[in-house]
Amino acid sequence: MIAEKVLFLVLDGISDRPCDALDGLTPLGAARTPVLDRIAAEGVCGIMDSVAPGIRPGSDTSHLALLGYPPQEYYTGRGPLEAEGTGIHMTAGMIGFRCNFATVDADGLVTDRRAGRISGTEPLAEAIRENVDLSGLGLEFRFEAGAGHRAALALVGEGLGDKVSSNDPKKEGVLPLTIRPCTDDPADRKTADACNEFIRQSGEILYDHPVNVRRIEEGLPPGNLLLIRGAGKMGALPQFPERYGLSGSVISAATLISGIGKVVGLEHIPVPGTTGSIDSDLDAKVRAAIGELGRKDFVLMNIKGADEAGHDGKAIQKRDFIEVIDKALAPLLDLKETLIVICADHSTPCSVKDHSADPVPVVIRGPGVRTDRTNRFDEVSCAEGGLHRIRGRDLMPIVLDLINKSHKYGA
């Protein structure tokens, strides 16, 4: 029997390093994961360098690689992908940015780069759309709120470049930076000037917005500054259905991942109750994925909360959320004629509080898969599996071969 469908599940940032709080185990190694372990026992396992050994991948470059779009060839910056994911339709030549709502104090110092992980920022975004004016620079803009503290900006107009810096100081207790051109090209200077003007005007709007006034009254950090980074010029990517002969959907609360899916031609399926954090309704997400497999050949599903726990350095929280994930995945065990691919996109060690280059575990389970002796889904056990050590860009060719969609190389 050969699988007819593919469920591609990315457990965002789930991989880690040994944690003191877990007696030297990783959160994945310490978690009780009977579902993931059964999938490992019934499949073939390995470890994977999302981009290449020793390269710390971003969520953007890793997902592109996993979908078979090597970032060395296709990556133009995170901003356009994030913008597409928030609902901004990016066309060739538009300049996109990822943004954070952040908090600055009365002295202008950044006190929280994520504004207390603020959510419900659409009223703030609406006020920015209605009141910021870049017409003096001959430009238009698009701005949309994303999940949590995230947002996206796109600049539209002639003579724009994408080689500009960020105003994000990457730490707290300091002033935000001034965005500067990274080259002598006038197009990059124009973009930098537009960004600084956008930040100035939006800051004035956010300062006394009712949402932020209320947050201050409640003792919460206001979202009174936008940190802008990840500039990129939108290009054109080969479309997934034509590239692989598969129809597909993407299910993700993270705007970046839904944006990547959309720009390669996957249909974004919104799922109420999913947040991209540890409070996400994972049962609803799994039901949606199973439903999509009824009408599509390929479903990319991203579950992100473990990544946030890693960034926050919370090993026990990460372990506990992995157990929540595992319980939610139980319905996948009953899928028929479906190839299930489960991996991380990158490691997010609690000790580092950021991505690392450590390889991640991967398992493929389904009809026709040659199983190995691995019966535990974690970083160490999967390293002993039959897939051995592969790159992210190798995964789609392996999947296509297993569903009999690959083409012979040679006669």
pLDDT at residue number 268? 96
What letter would DSSP give residue 179? P
Question: Which pLDDT belongs to residue 148?
Answer: 85
Q: Measured between alpha carbons, how far is 59 from 80 in angstroms, rounded to an integer?
A: 14
Count the neighbouring beta carbons within 10 Å of the beta carbon of residue 151. 28
If one counts every other C-beta atom within 10 angstroms of the C-beta of residue 336, the result is: 10
pLDDT tens digits along 302-340: 999 999 999 999 999 999 999 999 999 999 999 999 999
Distance CA 259, CA 87 (A): 8
**The predicted structure's pLDDT at residue 411:** 84
CA angle 332, 335, 339 (to 5 degrees): 90
User: The whole model's pTM is what?
Assistant: 0.89
Q: How far apart are CA 333 and CA 341, in angstroms?
A: 12
Q: Which domains does the chain have, with CATH numbers?
A: 5-76+236-402 (3.40.720.10), 83-233 (no CATH)
Q: Which residues of the chain have pLDDT under 50?
A: none
- Are 318 and 308 in contact by the 8 Å Cβ rule? The answer is no
Percent above pLDDT 90 for the chain:
94
Which pLDDT value is given to residue 207? 95
Contact 59, 256 (CB under 8 A): yes
Number of H helices, E strands in the chain: 14, 13
Q: What pLDDT shows up at residue 277? A: 87
Secondary structure class of 149 (helix, strand, coil): coil
Q: Which strands sit side by side in the sheet containing 267-268, from one edge to the other? A: 267-268, 248-251, 298-303, 5-11, 338-343, 360-365, 44-49, 388-391
